[in-house]
Amino acid sequence: MKRFMEFDLPGTDAPTADTEEVIEFKLAGQIFQCRPEVPAGLLLDLASAGTKSNGSQSATIEALLGFFRGALLEESYARFEAAIRDPKIVVPMSKISDIAGWLAEVYSDDRPTGGNSVSTSGSPSSGVGSTEVPSPGVLMYSRSEPTEPSTTSNGG
């Protein structure tokens, strides 16, 4: 018996960017606009960087930057990169992790599988002024399949 399932991508009748939901976030008083959708590879790269036990912090940071580069519209990414490097603003790493986690949830249909942001030491991130890189595990997201309610019968 042959098994077949089609996973075709939407064609020309797919919604255009201006008909889809706008994804934005605010950081340091600025509004940043994101693409309505991102390639699955961006999310996979982000999750992969967080699951490699031998991965370095620089690999995790590169995955975060690559994710933002792919998710943000070009103009927004240029402003975002300037903001996170501006010594007058000082955006903590925990805030970058929070934004990436939120975007990953949005792009994977609001189904996080990770927990709260924690530092590499395993303790909760302190927020403002923190220089600790968040635990990459918090960046893991996947789509869950709905489960059927459990029914138990007593022999009947």
Name the E strands within the chain: 23-27, 30-34
Structure confidence at residue 1 as a pLDDT band (50, 70, 90): confident
Residue 33 belongs to some domain of the structure: no
Tell the residue number behind the tokens 């927004």, with chain if given: 76
Residue 119 pLDDT more than 50?
Answer: no
Residue 69 belongs to some domain of the structure: yes
The angle, 0 to 180 degrees and rounded to 10, between the axes of the packed helices 93-107 and 40-51 is 130
Residue 132 belongs to some domain of the structure: yes
- Structural domains of the chain, count: 1
CA distance 102 to 138: 11
Average pLDDT, stretch 38-60?
80
pTM (2 d.p.) = 0.62
Residue 18 belongs to some domain of the structure: no
Residue 23 belongs to some domain of the structure: no
Residue 112 pLDDT more than 60?
Answer: no
Task: Give the range of the structural domain holding residue 77, as residue numbers without chain letter.
Answer: 39-118+127-139
Interval 25-34: pLDDT, tens: 999 999 999 9
